[in-house]
Chains A and B, each alone.
Chain A
Amino acid sequence: MDPRLAGVRKRLAGIDRIIAVTGGKGGIGKSVVSVSLSLLLAESGLRTGLLDLDLTGPTDHVLLGLDFGEQFPSEEFGVDPMLVGGVRFMSIACFSKQSPAALRGRDVTNALIEMLAITRWDELDVLVLDMPPGLGDTSLDIVRLLERAEHLVLATSSRVVLETVRRTLDVLAQLRTRVLGVLENMKSDSSQAVEQLASRFSVPYLGSLPEDSSLELATGTAESLVRTPTARALREVISAVFPQVRGS
Chain B
Amino acid sequence: MHEFALADAVISAALETADKQNLSHITAIAVRIGELQQIDRETFEFALKEVIPNSEPRLAGTSITLEVQHASFRCRACEAEFTLDQTRGPLVEDQLEAIHFIPELARAFIRCPDCRSLDFELLTGRGVSIDYIEGE
Contact = CB atoms under 8 A, between A and B. Distances in A.
Interface string A104-116: 0001101100110
B101 A79 contact: yes
A1 B118 CA distance: 30
> Secondary structure at chain B's binding surface: helix, strand, loop or mixed?
helix
B4 A78 contact: yes
B60 interface: no
A241 interface: no
Interface in B73-97: 94, 97
Contact of B5 (A5, A7, A70, A99): A7
B108 A107 contact: no
Contacts of A3: 6, 9-10, 12-14, 31, 128-130
A118 B2 contact: yes
Contacts of A76: 4
A5 B5 CA distance: 11
A57 interface: no
6 contacts: A2-B127, A3-B10, A7-B9, A95-B101, A99-B105, A118-B5
Interface of B: 1-2, 4-6, 8-10, 12-14, 16-17, 31, 47, 50-51, 94, 97-98, 101-105, 107-109, 118-119, 126-130, 133
Interface of A: 1-11, 55, 70, 72, 75-79, 92, 95-97, 99-103, 107-108, 110-111, 114-115, 117-118
